[in-house]
Every structure is written in C-alpha cells, then in structure tokens.
Amino acid sequence: MRSASADAYLNTRVSLFAGRLWPDAALDALIAADESVVTGELAHKGLTTLAPQGEQAGGSLEQRIVAQVLDETRVLIRPLAGGARDFLSFWTARFEMSNVKTLLRSKMNGERAAVALARLTPMGAFGRLDGEALAHAEDTGELLRRLEAGPYAAIVRHARRAFEQSRDPFVLDAALDKGYYEGLVARAQPLETRLGAPLRGLMAALVDRINLVWLLRYRFNYSLPPAQVYYLLIGARYDLPAARLRELAQLGSLPAVLDALPAPWRARLAGALDIPAVFARMERAGAEYALHVLRSDAPPLARAFAYLILRERDLRALRAVLRGRRLGLGAAAVRLALQRSPESLH
C-alpha cells in the first residue's frame, strides 16, 4: 500500500478498536455482575475467548490474553512496512522474552523439556524462537549459546555476561528486561524523529516509569548497590536521562528519590508512600497521555501504539476481575488489584 492508504487503513482500524476499551465504571460493574452479563460484555468488546466458556479455545487465561494482544497487533501492522512494522512487531517480543526466561529457569531447576514447553506462551506468527529445540538444550550454558545464535542475540549476550559475573538468576532476568527495552528504544528513536512529540511522549512515559520503578525496587527491595542498579536500567534520553538516573541511584531512601525528581514528577507522586503507589500513579499518568494521543490527530502509528498500551492495561484489569470472580474474592479485594482510578479512562 502507498503511505497515504496505509495511514488511512491504520487510522480507521485504530478508531474501530478504540471502541473496545473499558471505562472504569464498566470494569467495576463486572465484579459482581451475573455470569451472562460478563459473557455479553466480553463479547461486545471482542473478547469472547476470555469468558469462562472461552477456555475451550485452549490455554490459560494469561495465554488467551496474550493471544488477543497478538491478534489485534497482527491486524494493526498489516499495512505497515519498514521501521514502523518492526517497532510494533517488536512490542510483542516482550512475551517471547518471557518464554526465554521460562526456558532458562526451567533449565536451571533441572526440569524436563516437556514441563518447560507446557509453560510457554504461544506466539503464533510473531514467534521467532524454536521453543522445542531450546527446551532440549543440555544445560543452561548450551541454552544461552543457542539463544545467542538466534534473533535476540544482542539481548542475550549482555544478559549472559551479567549472569556470569553474579551467577544470580534475578540479575539474568533483569538484564534480559533491560536489553529488550533498549531494543524497543532503538527502534522507536528514528520514528520519533519523523513522527514527533506523540510517539516520543508515549515512549518517555513508558521508559521513564519503568526506570523509576526498577530503580526503587532494585535499590530498596533488593538492596543492590547503586552501580549495579544503574547498570540494570534502560539507557534512554527522555525525562530521566542517564546522568539523572545515576544520581537517583545514589540516594538512600524512597522519599529522597522522589524529592529529587523533576518538579512535575514530584507533584504527581506527592504523598506516595511505597513503590506500588509510585507504579500505579505513573502508569495512570501514562494511560491518560495514551488516551490523549488516541483521541487526537496524531500520526496513525502513534495512535496505534497508544491503543495497544491501553488495551493491554485493560486486559490486565480484566484478568484481575475474572480471577477475582473465579476465586470468590470480595469486591474490595478485586478493586485493590485493579489499581485504576475513576479518572483514568472515560
């Protein structure tokens, strides 16, 4: 397709998909609704496979949610080519990196290949790894060598080096996460130059939030030294660039870190007493910005990325509701798990 027709297709498809997003009131209503109402609402939002009878489609609830994200991404990338297609496709690689972690943990624990394979999330057309062959690697070292010869070589190479220095599985996981997001940033930057503020703003909200929450967790939950904390953060040039992150990693408490943030961040996080509260507020701010981009005349790729961010946030909230219903949890407990505020989506 020519660029104009590709843009028109993508804009139309995003606008249609946007009608599937869930206002907070609609999510809240599901918590105590009759099963037939839940099934009807899920069908109306294009989520029939998530209804209880949707288990016939196979896979866990988590796997069915991922399948939904992959299916919608497949539709959105249809008219795209080059860097734009690569960027949105790589957004789905987060799920395949989770498969990499599953394979590595299984190998470290000495589990049989069949056990690991049963836990892998099917990636469909987005799959780039041969899970069967990887699951049958002789040991962790061979598995890492096979991964380094594959499509995620750069990510795995840096993670292996970090793991060899520490022999800590947590550091291996953290280094894989860092490598993935740096790959996403590298794919986004040429597009940010061309498409401008909307895409850059979405990436800044995502990467800065992740870096801040990781910094707080690594420093104060896991008591990692500042140098190691800084090493495990995503390299980027958004509102929290490298020099600022290095300074923040040196500070000795959560309040000290929050007090040292840029003024708009301090206002947004005023009164946050713990890391989950920081995460919830930053994610809410990112969702509000994504909703602004989605409803604007931003470039179609930015609107598509904004939709995917919001859709996945919705699906995580739905997972909390559906699991809460299945476990018979009270409404208050489910609402706490949602971590959404009334003003985040309207």
Report d(CA 336, CA 346) in Å as an integer: 19
User: What does the DSSP 8-state code read for residue 122?
Assistant: P
| Among 296, 287, 294, 295, residue whose Cα is nearest residue 344 | 287
Q: How confident is the model at residue 345 (pLDDT cuts 50, 70, 90)?
A: very low
Say if residues 98 and 69 touch (Cβ distance below 8 Å): no
d(CA 185, CA 191): 10
**Phi-psi group of 23: left, alpha or beta (phi > 0 → left; psi -120 to 50 → alpha; rest → beta):** beta
Percent of the chain at pLDDT > 90 equals 73
Q: What is the pLDDT of residues 60-103, one digit of tens each?
A: 889 999 999 999 999 999 999 999 999 999 999 999 999 999 99
**What is the rounded average pLDDT of the residues 136-158?**
93
Distances (CA, A) of 333 to 39, 275, 337, 342: 22, 19, 6, 16
Cα separation, 242 vs 229, in Å, equals 12
Burial environment of residue 239 by CB neighbours within 10 A (0 to 12, 13 to 18, 19 or more): middle
CA distance 238 to 250: 20
pLDDT greater than 90 at residue 335? no
pLDDT of 230 reads 97
Please report which confidence band the pLDDT of residue 342 belongs to, taking 50, 70 and 90 as the band edges: very low
pTM: 0.92
Question: What pLDDT is recorded for position 54?
Answer: 53
| Mean pLDDT in residue range 242-253 | 96
Please name the residues in contact with 18: beta carbons below 8 A apart, sequence gap of 6 or more. 294, 295, 307
pLDDT of 51 higher than 80? no
> 119 exposed, middle or buried (CB, 10 Å; 0-12, 13-18, 19+)?
middle
pLDDT, the chain, mean:
91
Confidence at 53, pLDDT banded by 50, 70, 90: low
Considering only residues 59 and 273, tell me which one the structure prediction assigns the higher pLDDT: 273
Residue 107: burial class (beta carbons within 10 Å; 0-12, 13-18, 19+):
buried
Residue 66's nearest CA partner among 94, 88, 90 is 94
| Confidence at residue 344, expressed as pLDDT on a 0 to 100 scale | 34
